[in-house]
Chains A and B, each alone.
Chain A
Amino acid sequence: QVQLQQSGAELAKPGSSVKISCKASGYTFTSYDISWIKQTTGQGLEYIGYINTGSGGTYYNEKFKGKATLTVDKSSSTAFMQLSSLTPEDTAVYYCARGLLGFAYWGQGTLVTVSS
């Protein structure tokens, strides 16, 4: 069965970076892109962008350019998102989801807390 297993919760200091992983199983990794979504209580669900798991090509929502960096490791069927220059506004649950238009499958989410 299709699964997207995300890495565990992160506690980070302002100004630092974190790298979240999303390991896919149950399907051919390079057949689907991986999208990333941010969820906060205040802003709800926001689309960060996606990565083409075959070519490594990326798209970033304007709001997340310079904040998020998406990469993949095809050998381990894992997608990564690095968040840099963290501020308290980056505190959120981050989800990976399979595909571009459908999001039929979601990871379990990774809580990132930014606090000094």
Chain B
Amino acid sequence: DVVMTQTPVSLSLAIGQPASISCKSSQSLVHSDGKTYLSWILQRPGQSPKRLIYLVSKLDSGVPDRFSGSGSETEFTLKISRVEAEDLGVYYCWQATHFPQLTFGSGTKLEIK
């Protein structure tokens, strides 16, 4: 299976600070169709996951543009330009390129100082 490694494990940031989360895959996530099926989800405390970004950099409807995704092949990054209180929770990356062997990262917990 493709292993997804996220760093850091946790982040503690003040409101207004930028955030950056790294996600590295053990294999290239470029599919034979040319697309890269790398997504980011946020799980707020007590809630189910919500997708923020898909295909590396496409924002889901309603997701603030302070969120951005980038990367290629095996290295990907989620950035928040200015953290807000509602951004706290656990962020996960996951890949569907190697469907049906879908795998998730272990998560990055964002805390607000």
Closest to A102 in B: B54
Q: Which of A59, A95, A100, A101 contacts B49 (CB 8 A)?
A: A95
Complex: A48 Cα to B105 Cα, angstroms: 15
Across-interface contacts of B94 in A (CB, < 8 A): 45, 103
Complex Cα distance, B99 from A49, in Å, reads: 10
Tell me, yes or no, whether A29 is within 8 Å of chain B by CB.
no
Q: Which residue of A lies closest to B95 (CB)?
A: A101
Q: Is there contact, CB below 8 Å, between B54 and A108?
A: no
> Complex formed: what's the CA distance from A101 to B36 in Å?
11
Nearest residue, chain A, Cβ from B97: A101
Q: Which residues of A contact B48 (CB under 8 A)?
A: 95, 106-109
| A100 CB contacts on chain B under 8 angstroms | 96, 99-100
B50 within 8 A of A: yes
* Interface pair A101/B99, CB less than 8 Å apart: yes
Contacts of B106 in A (CB 8 A): 44
Q: Give the size of the chain A interface in residues (CB under 8 angstroms).
A: 19
Measured CB to CB, the closest approach of chain B to A31, in angstroms, equals 18
Residues from chain B with Cβ under 8 Å of A35 in the complex: 102
Tell yes or no: A32 within 8 A of B by CB: no
Looking at the assembled complex, report how far the CB atom of B29 sits from the nearest CB atom of chain A, in whole angstroms.
12
CA distance A49 to B50 in the complex (A): 19
Partner of B51, one of A61, A103, A108, A109: A103
- Docked Cα-Cα span, A47 to B102, in Å, equals 6
| In the bound complex, CA of A107 to CA of B54 (Å) | 18
Q: Does A50 reach chain B (CB closer than 8 Å)?
A: yes
Binding site for B on A (CB under 8 A): 35, 44-47, 49-50, 59, 61, 95, 100-104, 106-109
Known: A45-B92, A61-B101, A108-B48. 5 other contacts (CB 8 A): A35-B102, A47-B101, A103-B39, A104-B54, A108-B47
Query: 18 pairs across A/B with beta carbons < 8 Å?
Result: A35-B102, A44-B104, A44-B105, A44-B106, A45-B49, A50-B100, A59-B100, A61-B100, A61-B101, A100-B99, A101-B37, A101-B96, A102-B39, A104-B51, A104-B60, A106-B50, A106-B51, A109-B48
